[in-house]
Amino acid sequence: MDLPLTIRQILALEPTGQKVEIRGWLRTKRETKNAIFLEVNDGSCLRNIQCVLGTESPQRASWENLLPRLTTGASIIAQGNLVPSPAKGQAAEVAVESLRIIGDAPADTYPLQKKAHSMEFLREIAHLRVRTNTFGAIARVRNRMAFAIHQFFQERGFYYVHTPIITASDCEGAGAMFQVTTLDLDALAQAGKPVDYDKDFFGKKAYLTVSGQLNVETYCQALSRVYTFGPTFRAENSNTTRHLAEFWMIEPEMAFADIRDNIALATDFIQYLVAVALRDCASDLEFFDQRIQPGLLASLEKVVSSPFTHMTYTEAVRELEKAAGSFEFKPFWGCDLQSEHEKYLTEKVAGGPVVVTDYPKEIKAFYMKQNEDGRTVAAMDVLVPRFGEIIGGSEREWRLDLLEKRIDELGLSKDAYRWYLDLRRFGSTPHAGFGLGFERLLLYITGMTNIRDVIPFPRAPRLADF
RNA sequence: UCCCCUGUAGCUCAGCUGGCAGAGCAAGUGGCUGUUAACCACUGGGUCCGGUGUUCGAGCCACCGCGGGGGAGCCA
């Protein structure tokens, strides 16, 4: 099947007067005495194509009565000839011969205007905001990055594993969970009856996953190199510009690998994705650089070409203590790194991404490999300028006795982790992996500042419209 | 969940010490011009978030509620 050409494809043609058909949505109309200019966009690229209605043309009668309906947002199909443009601003344009309006967008009710809108306003019309330059560009970058993630791992021998969305174990340990149930809670409450989860769909409590890591580790211990890429859910009451209740996470896991391999993988991964974005989303990134985040391109280019700064947690704290006076929270060994600390490390100390390793075991998860010093674990976070943590990962504790001991210390249930402990009981290997928040990656690459703007339909506390 | 800011025309905002509701953009009309964030002129457009109170009088002050934004924590 030959699909009709998109505006992106048409703009790549040499204009020689060939017949073309434009299908898209009208962005603006400019009327002059001799010509009427329509800017048409179909989302295939940032650029519009200029369609020209000659007021002296013999076809004038066919579109003249449509003029009042050629408003911002209307969908149209225009046929004509692709010709070199006599004016500056575009190399080619369409000399329209026939024009149809497919769907009207009445100016008195269509919310998008021929002017800039605030992100706050556009968030209220998430179903229409993708028709703007900014959100179209975000959608294209998001698409390219999702594809590049698969390319990166596939090229390196990683297998894509579909870990479950629904989980009946509440031991994933990454935060508050959304409960999933088919019980009629309203009826039970009205009848004053207690909830009996034996009667629930799964015969026990079930939740939406907060992380695919524990499940993907099982496949890691058979396929060696694996990754998940799917939605995850956190029921935390987080109201920030970098948290969502529903977000997409990439979690690779490598067998026979240690924290050094993990750092190398994470670094290569980020540099690969940024390089792809710079190469394949050039005009969209240029738009972000001009309109959203000045300096974005320069900083992304630097990320690709320079090695990431690496420091241990202990070194990081030492660095922070030198500037202790400038912080609201005084840094000390054993403290969790605050937002202001992460910003300082990336923006002031490193001037780019920073890999921080070997955190105190008290502030990290039970499954992380314990270091010889007895006080730290082989954890690895990648922090970036502007918003901090983008990757969290570690080498995993692969020794059964040490893992069981840590589970006991933290008062967790060994029974709940039975299958996870089996991975250490049978053919255990050193292994390591990390989680990358997809939307945080997109914030970093687009220069957008609110995570609710880089996912089509954001979910957050009291926010589940559309 | 905590702290701070905020809610006025379709959008972005101004509105002083409480005294007749304003601007820019958008829209409509007309003009001009191969225009391109088009330009010029005119016109229309308001439950000042909701409620209660104070006052001769509330967009403005007080209280309660709701919405939006930013920051913090949790994390990706």
A411-427 pLDDT, tens per residue? 888 998 999 999 999 99
- Chain B footprint positions (protein CB, under 7 Å): 1-2, 10-13, 25-29, 31-38, 67-76
CA distance A266 to A394: 11
Q: Which residue is nearest to nucleotide B69 (CA to C1')?
A: A120
Torsion angle (degrees, nearest 10) of CA A393, A395, A401, A403: 0
Nearest nt by C1' to A113 Cα: B26
Model confidence at A212: pLDDT above 90:
yes
Domain at A7-103, CATH homologous superfamily:
Nucleic acid-binding proteins (2.40.50.140)
Position A389 scores a pLDDT of 92
**Over chain A, what is the mean pLDDT?**
94
Nearest nt by C1' to A85 Cα: B34
CB A242 within 8 A of CB A440: yes
Between the CA of A121 and the C1' of B17, what is the distance in angstroms? Answer: 34
pLDDT-based confidence at A465, cuts 50/70/90? confident
Nearest nt by C1' to A246 Cα: B76
pLDDT-based confidence at A169, cuts 50/70/90? confident
Position A455 scores a pLDDT of 96
Position A55 scores a pLDDT of 83
- Mean pLDDT across the stretch A227-232? 96
- Mean pLDDT across the stretch A42-60? 91
CA distance A9 to A1: 16
Between the CA of A409 and the C1' of B6, what is the distance in angstroms? Answer: 47
Between the CA of A89 and the C1' of B11, what is the distance in angstroms? Answer: 27
Nearest nt by C1' to A393 Cα: B76
Nearest nt by C1' to A441 Cα: B76
In percent, how much of chain A has pLDDT > 90? 85
Where, residue-wise, is CATH 3.30.930.10 in chain A? Answer: 131-159+221-453
Where, residue-wise, is CATH 2.40.50.140 in chain A? Answer: 7-103
Between the CA of A118 and the C1' of B63, what is the distance in angstroms? Answer: 32
Between the CA of A113 and the C1' of B73, what is the distance in angstroms? Answer: 39
- Mean pLDDT across the stretch A97-113? 92
Give tens-digit pLDDT for A2-13. 899 999 999 999
Model confidence at A71: pLDDT above 90:
yes
| CA nearest neighbour of A148 among A462, A460, A436 | A436
Position A168 scores a pLDDT of 86
Nearest nt by C1' to A28 Cα: B36
Give tens-digit pLDDT for A307-366. 999 999 999 999 999 998 889 899 999 999 999 999 999 999 999 999 999 999 999 999
pLDDT-based confidence at A171, cuts 50/70/90? low
Between the CA of A115 and the C1' of B23, what is the distance in angstroms? Answer: 17
Give tens-digit pLDDT for A439-460. 999 999 999 999 999 999 999 9
Between the CA of A120 and the C1' of B14, what is the distance in angstroms? Answer: 20
Nearest nt by C1' to A211 Cα: B76
Between the CA of A36 and the C1' of B33, what is the distance in angstroms? Answer: 12
Q: Which residue is nearest to nucleotide B45 (CA to C1')?
A: A108
Question: What separation in angstroms does the CA of A367 have from each of A245, A350, A375?
Answer: 24, 29, 14
CATH of domain A131-159+221-453: 3.30.930.10
Between the CA of A440 and the C1' of B7, what is the distance in angstroms? Answer: 30
Between the CA of A51 and the C1' of B38, what is the distance in angstroms? Answer: 16
Model confidence at A172: pLDDT above 90:
no
CA distance A221 to A303: 33
Give tens-digit pLDDT for A371-384. 999 999 999 999 99
Nearest nt by C1' to A111 Cα: B10
| CA nearest neighbour of A349 among A329, A370, A378, A322 | A322
In percent, how much of chain A has pLDDT > 70? 99
Q: Which residue is nearest to nucleotide B73 (CA to C1')?
A: A238
- Mean pLDDT across the stretch A232-258? 95
Nearest nt by C1' to A114 Cα: B26
Between the CA of A105 and the C1' of B67, what is the distance in angstroms? Answer: 28
Q: Which residue is nearest to nucleotide B72 (CA to C1')?
A: A339
pLDDT-based confidence at A297, cuts 50/70/90? very high
pLDDT-based confidence at A27, cuts 50/70/90? very high
Is the ipTM value over 0.95, yes or no? Answer: no
One-letter-per-residue 3-state SS of chain A = CCCCCCHHHHHCCCCCCEEEEEEEEEEEEEECCCEEEEEEECCCCCCCEEEEEECCCCCHHHHHCCHHHCCCCCEEEEEEEEEECCCCCCCEEEEEEEEEEEECCCCCCCCCCCCCCCHHHHHCCCCCHHHCHHHHHHHHHHHHHHHHHHHHHHHCCCEECCCCCEECCCCCCCCCCCEECCCCHHHHHHHCCCCCHHHCCCCCCEEECCCCHHHHHHHHHHHCEEEEEEEEECCCCCCCCCCCCEEEEEEEEEECCCHHHHHHHHHHHHHHHHHHHHHHCHHHHHHHHHHCCCCHHHHHHHHHHCCCEEEEHHHHHHHHHHCHHHCCCCCCCCCCCCHHHHHHHHHHHHCCCEEEEEEEHHHCCCCECECCCCCEEEEEEEEECCCEEEEEEEEECCCHHHHHHHHHHCCCCCCCCHHHHHHHHCCCCCEEEEEEEHHHHHHHHHCCCCHHHCCCCCCECCECCC
